Structure 1
């Protein structure tokens, strides 16, 4: 099924691999829609989860630690995000973690794969390194799932970066990407604008009030962020009735019901129908659900955003004119009224739908096929020699760091004096600003 680590797979004109990561649902959701579109064009598609290709379950350990950080120590995530943003890459432990996956990724690729598409920054780092080392002789494309582009998204060795809009395209170029193409976002085709009849039917189906203005509050598949506070403030502002989707966070759903929030959902399989029932979407991370709302013609507001990419996505979406960023509670009523019944909602609805105005022939999947079949010269460097002893040492460091993250945050010590000291020490070890001997690019997972 795979090649030896030192060989370059032979290109095949009708086979593309997509490498994502099961961190939240956004990266996998984008990968699934790209797969659907590519398959419709007659392309054979192989899907891989990068977390499955990192040795010793380190990828899943890092994912669990990241989730716990968002939930228990968001300040730590903000620190790591900001420090890597300044430095243009991650620390040595992150780089070691990704280096450890390179051989497994190369072995997993079918020998007739003609191109690889990444929907996750860590995967882009791995694939870019393989291209630079001359061990992967086929084009690599990165599909940017976010509207803001952290430098970790831009990996040396990646041939093409695909952006949904001019704003992320400009950020990618500023981060060093050389070939950036604006090809629009991807969303499941079930997300379409609704009419009044569909709105009424959806409200009956989900047991929602037939006439009240409804704000659909989402927080990703993990249900992270200050969701309880946002739900209460939406309810109390008097402009909307909140309908909250908690993803797989059952504890959050129970807490919201205890808070007196009447309409609370866990994981929702038919989000297109629930969006039909709503008048506005309120989001806190800028992930795939935001893109789906644009496709559904639903006005979007960012509020109560999570640290890191939640804040930078809110800013980029606001700059692009597709989603207003509500920064303060006292703005809620006026902005929501304007989104539901005013000109702001009409303009943002049009701007969101305009992202999908081009035909699929001009979308990111079609662009991947064009790159696959272009026969473009591939500039690959000779294979580089690895110092495996150093790699093993760094991988052990990564394991320890992830274990400390997980145990410290899970135990709830992040709010104690001892916990703050411990978490500060971990964040120091991952801060590239304090590691002058390891400047440069690395990778981190974040997501929706």
Structure 2
């Protein structure tokens, strides 16, 4: 079973969700041969430069403009040029790839490749199932792609939003956001103080000091990193802080009462998250899914406008996070979340929102839909074959004069 899986490297979240889903598909069906592709590699140099340049530039220097764009396009009446653009960005390269090696299944964790794969499938009358995996906790208009045969969403609330925006009810399934199986295996460690202390010692961390993990995004564009670290250094109590994105080189520095460990890229993120008391910073969809699985509360500060603000609201409503909306409220929010009783309450809220087996749920739903589509296609073909080979009735005889 040939599976083509498309991510988009605007951040690391889409890729991580797809890796988890690909593993789950292969675990459920050994016939699966998954090929992962970054959709951005199909864009021309000009397209990639413009899209990434505007996106990253807005986030770093002009978040207000990005918030305006997010809201402007979050409506059915958005300009048709923008809607149609999702069908042609990178189309030429993706079309060649799909026609050269036609898959049985196409999965996308970003709206644009789902639009393109759907267009190619319909244009050339191909048979593959086109699946869209939503990695945010609220449905923006750009996620509403009629080209998708199956749309997987994180919550019942998101399912209702997707249906309200026009996707047929039967196409929308709730599975959660796919995450690596390592997180589910670490749940016991994350809830056992002794195991968490041992995990910290294994990674060279103090087992007794509070451990805070900074969520800064895979692109290292978190513009409030220095502000956040400054507040952590002035908490009035010693803490240790893990910084992955934005770390220029590994090392350790001291900033007031905060011992900052600059880690850069690491494959140990699941264990480090399980060992942490809090996640602080942004609220990306994958980070939210991973933190809730391990019951780690979040203190959110300066999330990406639009999607991450809605993720923050979702966590706050569920009692799993505190959203510090201003710098003056950041320090009180951090101290509040570090209080043992408050942390325990927030941790329980996080667990209540978690879907540890989301990848397996998504794989099961996708494989069931793929099998149903194959059966329907086979049935249609059999009917066509029968009609083509059925002997024609002789022409009725006529009396002759």
1:188 aligns with 2:180: yes
1:116 aligns with 2:106: yes
- 1:298 Cα deviation (Å)? 1.4
- 1:94 Cα deviation (Å)? 7.5
1:27 aligns with 2:10: no
Partner of 1:162: 152
Aligned match for 1:200, one of 197, 200, 207: 197
Residue correspondence of structure 1 range 143-158 to structure 2 within 5 A: 143-158=133-148
1:229 aligns with 2:239: no
- 1:97 Cα deviation (Å)? 6.7
Conserved? CA contact 1:220–1:287, under 8 Å = no
Q: Return 56-65 or 37-46, whichever deviates more.
A: 56-65
Q: For 1:126 and 1:347, how far apart are their aligned partners in 2?
A: 44
Q: Deviations over 1:256-282 (max 9, x none)?
A: 959655313222331122223311112
Aligned match for 2:261, one of 260, 264, 275: 264
1:36 aligns with 2:23: yes
Partner of 1:101: 90
Q: CA 1:321–1:177 in structure 2 vs 1: closer, same or farther (change >3 Å)?
A: farther
Q: CA 1:272–1:234 in structure 2 vs 1: closer, same or farther (change >3 Å)?
A: same
Conserved? CA contact 1:339–1:346, under 8 Å = no
Q: For 1:90 and 1:36, how far apart are their aligned partners in 2?
A: 38
- Secondary structure of 1:250 counterpart: coil
Q: Deviations over 1:92-127 (max 9, x none)?
A: 367447414224323212645222111012212223
Q: TM-score, normalised by structure 2?
A: 0.78
Q: CA 1:291–1:60 in structure 2 vs 1: closer, same or farther (change >3 Å)?
A: farther
Conserved? CA contact 1:128–1:155, under 8 Å = no
Residue correspondence of structure 1 range 329-408 to structure 2 within 5 A: 329=327, 331-332=329-330, 335-336=333-334, 339-341=337-339, 345-354=343-352, 363-375=361-373
Conserved? CA contact 2:105–2:370, under 8 Å = yes
- 1:335 Cα deviation (Å)? 4.7
- 1:165 Cα deviation (Å)? 1.7
- 1:210 Cα deviation (Å)? 3.0
1:294 aligns with 2:292: yes
1:68 aligns with 2:57: yes
- Secondary structure of 1:177 counterpart: coil
Q: For 1:321 and 1:196, how far apart are their aligned partners in 2?
A: 22
Conserved? CA contact 2:178–2:357, under 8 Å = no
Partner of 1:323: 321
Q: TM-score, normalised by structure 1?
A: 0.71
- 1:371 Cα deviation (Å)? 1.1
Q: Deviations over 1:359-384 (max 9, x none)?
A: 67961111111111112758xxxxxx
Partner of 2:398: none
Q: Return 166-175 or 366-375, whichever deviates more.
A: 166-175
Conserved? CA contact 2:151–2:172, under 8 Å = yes
Task: From the two aligned structures, give the one with the greater strand fraction.
Answer: 2
Mind listing any 5+ residue stretches in structure 1 that lack a counterpart? 1-13, 379-448
Q: CA 1:278–1:258 in structure 2 vs 1: closer, same or farther (change >3 Å)?
A: closer
Q: For 1:78 and 1:146, how far apart are their aligned partners in 2?
A: 16
Partner of 1:417: none
Q: CA 1:236–1:55 in structure 2 vs 1: closer, same or farther (change >3 Å)?
A: same
Aligned residues: 363
Partner of 1:219: 216
Q: Return 206-215 or 129-138, whichever deviates more.
A: 129-138
Q: For 1:204 and 1:362, how far apart are their aligned partners in 2?
A: 32
Supply the RMSD in Å over aligned alpha carbons. Answer: 3.2
- Secondary structure of 1:162 counterpart: strand
Partner of 2:385: none
- Secondary structure of 2:35 counterpart: strand
Partner of 2:119: 129
Q: Deviations over 1:330-368 (max 9, x none)?
A: 555665455444555445434444555676796111111
